[in-house]
Structure 1
């Protein structure tokens, strides 16, 4: 995924803990511990997930079915979800061996600040609550986007798409895939950034490549084989600023994506070497750490990394 590739660029050791060590089903205690640490989030990242969930689980399915969905009702659903997950996060039992994180399902929430600073900034929590409400309101103000969604034949949310690229499998999970009968599909990527400056073209390009290269899923309403990845409409929707960016990509952009995937895959393969599927057995100290203190401070695996020898 793009997120894993970017993590590898930032800090190879963080990538190693996240993708090779952390495992929910492993019997090894260290791997279980790393899995639990991997669930730690910043408050801003968590509030973005709350918005993603209410749109994916409540709003978009209602639009697809032609049901009436109101702003007030959606805010109520979002804040109920917010408060429910906040209560779980406040307990901070993520490292408690007596509980199984998977039992919480999508309501699992665990804060990085409680694990490493033992403090929760209530002002930041209140700001997160306000931004959840603002994001929902902003969505309902996007009348043109909502009308477009209402005309779709099929709306699919948070669907994992995979395709092969040379010797690696690439996985992508678009927020929304919209199918429009005679017109090319559209992919929508929600963003909940306070300043709305992050450009998501690379991520959206990977989504388009995945949609056109993956094996069509059974609930796709029609074949997309005759569409090129440059045909896919790519929308980046900033839910705090109200900005909708349409990314019109050309073949040269996708050539850059292919290069990026190949370079990332090669770097990861060289980092772990020939281990016959047992990369988790490697020493963490074999993987270099970030040059940037801020990346280290935000890392979920800081305790493991420092214990191993930063």
Structure 2
């Protein structure tokens, strides 16, 4: 399965991609190595974890509320974010994911953090700041009355929906944070970001979401998608990146252009060839782990959850 996020990981460190996508499998029971890799593949930084909580509250609670034309209860949303924060923090701190017989998919409060897994410093202030950031991100969105009204004007909001299509014979998967469908207007794809500074742009990621939605609309649209979806040209799709944590609520809008589509297609073509040559299409036991190169850059190892089971070229370069 080709994903744009996965290909970025592959470019940074092929072996990391191999661990995450071929070795890791939550269904494995009797293979200690694969089970360990599966656990390590789920580790998050505090920053990434806080973003996931915001994403979940928005997709699981806020979006259904808007779809049902109900009033938004800010206190309830913030309270649920706090409940989730506390429950997941306890789960991660006590490493409950390592208890015998645990099935991750059944743990609603699942969380695994680098800090507790590797015995790194996890100060009380860092956790206080993370909670504040979650509150700030949600409040910034809820305070944007114009945008909330815009979402309410939609026919349907679809959150965290996987979109699958074929590219050069390889399955591709994308999962936009939010797709806003209208009765008589092109769809609007929104990508939430919970970054402290918000200096990076994500136009390529949004273009890839647009392609995925267009492909699905033209081949096998989901049953709840508007029936007129395929009548819209991809160049008419609206794309927005919304930096929720920034005090000014930065929203960057992007356009789908022929040039950007060609760039994406070229990049995907290179990626598919590279990954196919390495055996990324093969299953565990069929692929050869020695085919997957490790990173040459030590900075890529600092936040890698597999560093304790990996001898990277970055470390070899340092030792020489």
Q: TM-score, normalised by structure 1?
A: 0.93
Q: Aligned partners of 1:122, 1:270: CA distance in 2, in Å?
A: 47
Give how far 1:67 is off.
0.5
CA deviation map 1:217-252 (0-9, x unaligned):
011132321222221110111001110111112111
Alignment of 1:231-250 (within 5 A): 231-241=236-246, 242-250=249-257
Q: Which of 227, 233, 250 is equivalent to 1:228?
A: 233
Structure 1: stretches of 5+ with no match in the other structure: none
- After TM superposition, list the pairs within 5 Å mapping 1:103-118 onto structure 2: 103-105=106-108, 107-118=109-120
The alignment status of 1:81 with 2:84, answered yes or no, reads: yes
The separation in 2 between residues aligned to 1:294 and 1:115, in whole angstroms, is 20
In the other structure, the counterpart of 1:139 is: 141
Aligned partner of 1:253 in structure 2 is: 260
Offset, 1:98: 3.5
Q: Is the counterpart of residue 288 in structure 1 residue 290 in structure 2?
A: no
Give the whole-Å Cα distance in 2 for the aligned partners of 1:204 and 1:126. Answer: 32
Q: Pick one of 157, 160, 170 that aligns with 2:159.
A: 157
More displaced stretch, 193-202 vs 18-27:
18-27
How far residue 47 of structure 1 moved from its aligned partner, in angstroms, is 0.3
Which residue is equivalent to 1:13?
15
CA contact (8 A) 2:16 2:294 kept: yes
Mapped pair 1:29 → 2:32: yes
Q: Secondary structure at the match of 1:183?
A: coil
Q: How many residues align?
A: 307
Distance 1:212 1:179 in 2: 13
What SS does structure 2 have at the residue aligned with 1:184?
coil
Alignment partners' CA distance in 2, 1:291 and 1:228: 42
Change (3 A) 1:197 1:132: same
Structure 2: gaps of 5 or more residues: none
Q: Which residue of 2 aligns with 1:174?
A: 176
Q: Deviations over 1:31-66 (max 9, x none)?
A: 222111111100100000000000001111101111
**TM-score calculated relative to the size of structure 2:** 0.91
3-state SS of paired residue (2:212): helix
Residue equivalent to 2:125: 123
Alpha carbons of structure 1 residues 114 and 306: separation in structure 2 relative to 1, 3 Å? farther
Q: 1:269 aligned to 263, 276, 300, which one?
A: 276
Indicate if the aligned counterparts of 2:210 and 2:237 stay in contact, CA closer than 8 A.
Answer: yes
RMSD: 2.0
Residues 279 and 288 in structure 2, CA contact (< 8 A), matched pair in contact too: no
User: In the alignment, what sits opposite 1:218?
Assistant: 223
Matched, 1:58 2:61: yes
